[in-house]
Amino acid sequence: MQTEPTLATAEDGRVATPACDALIERYARIHRLAHLGAIAGWDQAALMPPKGNEARAAALAELAGLLHRMATDRALGDEIERAADEPLDALQRANLREMRHAWLRETALPATLVERQRLAASRCEHAWRRQRPANDWAGFLENFRPVLALAREEASRLAERTGLARYDALMDRYEPGMTSAVVDRLFGDIRHWLPALIREVVDRQAARDAADPPADAAGPFPVERQRALCEQLMRRLGFDFEAGRLDVSAHPFCGGVPEDVRLTTRFAPEDFLGALMGTVHETGHARYEQSLPRAWLGQPIGQARSMAIHESQSLAFEMQLGGHPGFAALLAPLLREAFGDQPAFDPVRLHRRLTRVQRGLIRVDADEVTYPAHIVLRYEIERALIEGEAQAEDIPALWDAKMDELLGLDTRGNYRDGPLQDVHWPEGLFGYFPCYTLGAMYAAQWFAAIRRTLPDLDARIGRGDLAPVFDWLREQIWSQGSRWSTDELTRRASGEPLNPAHLRAHLRQRYLG
C-alpha cells in the first residue's frame, strides 16, 4: 500500500521549508544594506557638502556593486529553484514570485555595468544641480551622454533576458507587467481629449475670475514659517515624525526606508504653495512607506507594489484630497496662523487657488488638469531615446515641439525650465515617468471605490475628517505590500482593473461639474 510522504517540520511545528527560509534571510541582509544606501543617497541630495560628491559617488557605486553581487549569487538562484518544490503557503509563494522576478532582472546585468551606472548618474546629477540654474545644456550633455549610453546597454541586456522591448524592460523595473503598448493606448486617449479639456477649463476659470477677481496671498512668506506649516500639515495627514523627517533638496523626493522615511521639499520666500503642496505630495508617498506591513519587513512582499501605485498615494493626497473644498477649509486656519489673516485665505478663495488651471513650463508645479501633458511629453521622448529613435542632442527640439503641441508654450532656448527641470534623466531613471499619470488614474479609481463604499465621503472630508480615506488606503493598499500583482491588487481594492475613465470623469466633475 502506497503512503503519502511525511513532511519534515520545523521546531515550531511548521512544515519545514529550508530553501525558502534561507531566501528570506538573504533578502533581509540585502534590505539592511540597501537601508544604508538609501540614507546615504538621501544625504547626498539633502545635506552633503559639494566636495564630498566624488567620494560619495564611489562609495555608493561600491555598495551598488556589492548588492548586485549578493542579488545574483548563484546559490540564491539554486535556492529559488529548490524553494519552488517546497510545500509553501500563499505568502511564501508570493515572496518566491517576487524573488524570481528580481533574479531574472538582476542576473541580466553584470556588476561592472551596475557600478558604472551608479557612478555616471552621481556625477551627472551632481553637475545638474549647477547646470540647471545656469541654463547650461551643453555642459549637461557632456555628462548625460554616458548616462544614456549605459541605460541603453541595460535596456538591451534586460530585453534579451526577458523578451520585452527595450523601453518596456526598463519600465518593468518600476511598473512590473506594464508595457508601452498599454501606455500608448492610455496616453493616446489622453492626447485625444486633454487639450480640449484644458481649453474649456481655462476659459471657464478666466470668465469666473473676470467677474470675481481672485485674491492672491501677499508675501513674502518666511521660510521658517513655511517649514513649520509643512510639518504641522504633515502631522494632520498622519505622518509619524518618530519614523521620518522633512528636509530640503534641489528636487523634492521621498526616500529612506519604511523604518526611517526621508522627505524633502524646496522653499521660495515669494510662494508658499509650491513647498506646501510638494510636501503634501511626498507625505502621500511617506504614509505608504510607513504603513507597509512590519511583519514582512525585509521580504519582497513587504515592499511597495509598484511606482504607479506609489504615485497613486502621493496624488491621492496632493490632488484628490488637496483639490477638495474640505481640504481648503482645513488648511485656511493654518495659513492664517502662519502668515496672518488675508482675503486669499478665505476657504472658498483658497480652494479656487488650489484648483487654478494654468498652462505652465514646470511639471512639479502643474495642476492636475495639465499635468498629464507633461508626462506624455517625457514618455514619448525617453522611449525614443532608449529605442534609439532619438539621440541626446535631439531632446531640446523634441521638447519644444511637444510642449507647443500639448500645451501651446514656447520653450526654445529655455533649458532650465525645459529638459533640465527634472532629476530623473540625470539619474538615469528611464521608464519612471509614465508612473505619474498611471498613478493619477489609480488615485481617481481609488476615490471612486471609496465613494461607492462611503456615499457621505465628501461631506466627511468637508468637515475635516480625513480618516475614512486613510483607513481605506491602509486596508486596501498599504497593508497589502507586494502580496498581489498590480492587476490583482487593483481588482481586489476597486472591483475592476485599471480604468482610465475614472480620471477623465474626476477632472470633468471637479472642474466643469
Catalytic positions: 282
Separation between Cα atoms, residue 124 and residue 142, nearest integer Å: 9
Pairing of β 260-265 and β 254-257? antiparallel
User: What are the residues facing 454 on neighbouring strands?
Assistant: none
The closest alpha carbon to 353, from 367, 333, 342, belongs to 367
- Whether 44 and 56 have beta carbons less than 8 Å apart is answered as yes
The closest alpha carbon to 127, from 59, 54, 184, 66, belongs to 54
Separation between Cα atoms, residue 489 and residue 494, nearest integer Å: 8
What 3-state class would DSSP assign to 387? coil
Q: How far is CA 275 from CA 230, 281, 504, in A?
A: 8, 10, 27
- Whether 289 and 261 have beta carbons less than 8 Å apart is answered as yes
- Whether 217 and 268 have beta carbons less than 8 Å apart is answered as no
Q: State yes or no: cis peptide before 220, omega within 30 of 0.
A: yes
- Whether 233 and 282 have beta carbons less than 8 Å apart is answered as no
Beta strands in 89-213 (DSSP E): none
Separation between Cα atoms, residue 191 and residue 171, nearest integer Å: 21
What 3-state class would DSSP assign to 144? helix
- Whether 354 and 510 have beta carbons less than 8 Å apart is answered as no
- The owner of cell 511629453 is 377
Beta strands in 228-343 (DSSP E): 244-248, 254-257, 260-265
Q: Grid coordinates standing for 75?
A: 546559490
